[in-house]
């Protein structure tokens, strides 16, 4: 189907020289604690059922997380927070996500990264963001028939969701809705409407400092589950 073909095409993309170098160098050198593992070292495709009503839009894979395990948000601290919360609100089968064949399953939820290769310091350049944009736009287009709620992680995910829907010809509200934790915006296009929900990114920068608590994360993901089931 279209999604499987898209996943296959993105998984061999080499359009950003700096990111290709970084993802492969990290995969080659490896963190000492994962020395016995074979890193994925390639772009990370979306993951979750193709008919999901909830779509989570993240930033980019972690060098020793998804870039190692090959599955989005799997094997890093942000993912630990995200999957635990998804499990608490009924959107993931297990509370943890450690490796690609751990039995985890997303329920009515799909996750995508805006930039699909691990960037140094978790910071893609604007040029890299723009080079990767056609992949997320294509994926949102393929998922559009089912998606009702988009959870944007951080301002980067929020802007990426707005830009991607605008690229698909949707009416993206002007002035641009402001990102915030718990922010909501309605977007319309192709005879459909979705709710865009803002959520602080579960990065260690936010979870260590208490800017994002488990209750806050559960609040937004629980809201997404309620909206999708309504």
By CB under 6 A, name the binding residues for ligand SF4. Answer: 10, 13-16, 19-20, 43, 115-117, 128, 131-132, 135
H/E stretch holding 176: none
- The encoded tokens of residue 193 equal 């409407």
| CB nearer ligand SF4, residue 19 or residue 228 | 19
Pairing of strands 149-153, 184-189: unpaired
The minimum distance between CB 45 and ligand SF4, in angstroms, equals 9
The minimum distance between CB 112 and ligand SF4, in angstroms, equals 12
The minimum distance between CB 2 and ligand SF4, in angstroms, equals 17
The b-or-e profile of 18-52 (16+ CB within 10 A means b, else e) is: ebbebbbebbeebeeeeeeeebbbbbbbbbbeeeb
In sequence order, what E strands does 70-228 have? 109-113, 149-153, 184-189, 192-199
**Helix axis angle, 2-10 to 126-143, nearest 10°:** 160
The minimum distance between CB 59 and ligand SF4, in angstroms, equals 11
Helix (H, G, I), strand (E, B) or coil at 169: coil
| CB nearer ligand SF4, residue 4 or residue 188 | 4
Cα distance between residue 119 and residue 57, in whole Å: 16
| CB nearer ligand SF4, residue 10 or residue 185 | 10
Residue (of 163, 170, 164) closest to 189 by Cα position: 170
| CB nearer ligand SF4, residue 61 or residue 198 | 61
| CB nearer ligand SF4, residue 41 or residue 198 | 41
| CB nearer ligand SF4, residue 12 or residue 32 | 12
| CB nearer ligand SF4, residue 138 or residue 224 | 138
The minimum distance between CB 26 and ligand SF4, in angstroms, equals 13
Q: Which own/partner pairs from 119-123 qualify as long-range (CB within 8 Å, at least 24 positions apart)? A: 119/18, 119/19, 119/22, 119/60, 120/18, 120/22, 120/63, 122/59, 122/60, 122/62, 122/203
For Cα atoms 46, 47, 50, give the angle at the middle one, nearest 5 degrees. 95
The minimum distance between CB 14 and ligand SF4, in angstroms, equals 6
The minimum distance between CB 41 and ligand SF4, in angstroms, equals 11
């Amino acid at each position: 189907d279209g999604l499987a073909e898209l996943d296959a095409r993105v998984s061999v993309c080499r359009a950003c020289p700096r990111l290709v170098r970084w993802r492969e160098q990290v995969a080659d050198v490896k963190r000492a604690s994962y020395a016995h593992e074979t890193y994925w070292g390639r772009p990370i495709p979306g993951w979750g059922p193709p008919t999901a009503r909830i779509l989570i839009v993240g930033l980019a894979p972690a060098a020793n997380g998804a870039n190692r395990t090959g599955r989005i948000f799997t094997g890093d601290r942000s993912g630990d927070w995200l999957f635990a919360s998804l499990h608490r609100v009924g959107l993931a089968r297990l509370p943890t996500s450690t490796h690609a064949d751990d039995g985890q399953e997303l329920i009515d939820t799909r996750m995508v990264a805006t930039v699909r290769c691990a960037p140094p310091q978790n910071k893609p350049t604007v040029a890299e963001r723009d080079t990767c944009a056609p992949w997320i736009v294509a994926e949102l287009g393929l998922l559009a028939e089912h998606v009702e709620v988009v959870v944007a992680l951080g301002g980067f995910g929020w802007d990426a969701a707005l830009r991607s829907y605008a690229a698909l010809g949707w009416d993206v509200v002007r002035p641009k809705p402001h990102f915030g934790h718990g922010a909501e915006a309605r977007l319309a296009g192709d005879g459909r409407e979705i709710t865009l929900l803002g959520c602080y990114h579960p990065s260690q920068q936010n979870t260590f400092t208490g800017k994002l608590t488990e209750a806050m994360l559960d609040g937004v993901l629980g809201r997404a589950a309620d909206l999708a089931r309504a």
